[in-house]
Amino acid sequence: MLADLTILNIISFLLIFFIGLPHGSFDGAVATLVGFRNKIQFLQFIFLYLVLFFLVILFWLYFPIISLTVFILMTISHFGLCDWTNFKINNYKYSVSFTYGMTIIFGIIYFNENQSFLIFEYLTNDNVYLIKKYFFIPYILTLVSIIYFIYLSYFEKKLRKGVVEIIFLLLIFYIFDPLLSFAIYFCFFHTYKHLKHLIKNIYLNLKNKKFVIYSTLIFTGISWVGGLGIVYYLVQNLSLYESILKVIFIGLAALTLPHMLLVDIVYRRRFK
């Protein structure tokens, strides 16, 4: 059962599971920031969040290829918007977001294509290799977007640190396997930027700081216990490696939809 796991795999899973996933546990605080302030409103938020979460999982079970494609597109958008927000500029929103999102996802895939498609196969239980020959298109789009980003950095000084960051990320993706590459970005870049922006606004706009702490701890605990429980259930029929892959990435997909709707559509409109 442990044959598929390497030390780097284990490190990657632990990082994603215990550092990356819980950053979504602050969504309770985000909901409070954007208007779900009394008990009834907050319970409504939790209900809607859980409905979307389970609908995504159900959809993935029946339409895994479509779900994986949509998940990749959502991830590109969500990561990109978070990175654009971090620059604190009003211009080039779509160019910067597209460049970062594409660089993260397709940079990892490009440098680790065979391993990435093996992960996709685990996640879909299907032959995903039929679309592999078309991946030169997003690779070219990614390269063009990076070149354009470098061009924009001549006019916007704040983007110059982004050029260095993108080069550094591509180096990470070149050196490490796809799981560790994703874990490094997700935990130490995306999570850090998201929480830095969020905690600042919580401090400035929420009086009840204890609620933020307690709700975040509760949601984090639920995500850890729930995730470990599902891994235990799946491992009865699948390898430990495949079980953890499914829990982390399908779980991420299920969390990403409500998280995106809350953070990228509602929260970012009020707190840029």
Beta-carbon contacts of 239 under 8 Å, excluding residues fewer than 6 positions away, are 1, 3, 4
Q: Which segments of the chain have a pLDDT < 70?
A: 1-4, 272
- Tokens 């030169």 locate to 136
- As a whole number of angstroms, the distance between CA 160 and CA 166 comes to 10
Q: Tokens representing 67?
A: 């779900």
Residue 262, φ and ψ in degrees, nearest 5: -75, -50
Q: How is 232-260 classified by DSSP, letter by letter? A: HHHTTTS-HHHHHHHHHHHHHHHHHHHHH
Do residues 19 and 191 lie in contact, with contact meaning Cβ atoms separated by under 8 Å?
yes
- As a whole number of angstroms, the distance between CA 188 and CA 249 comes to 18
pLDDT of 2: 44
Q: What is the DSSP letter of 186?
A: I
pLDDT of 265: 86
Residue 211, φ and ψ in degrees, nearest 5: -60, -40
pLDDT of 32: 86
pLDDT of 1: 42
pLDDT of 272: 63
How far, in whole angstroms, is CA 220 from its chain's centroid? 16
> Alpha helices, DSSP H only, in the chain?
7-15, 27-33, 39-62, 64-87, 93-111, 113-124, 136-153, 160-175, 178-185, 191-205, 209-234, 240-260, 268-270
pLDDT of 187: 92
Do residues 68 and 119 lie in contact, with contact meaning Cβ atoms separated by under 8 Å?
no
Cβ burial, residue 112 (10 Å; 0-12/13-18/19+): buried
- Nearest Cα residue to 64 out of 138, 4, 127, 154: 127
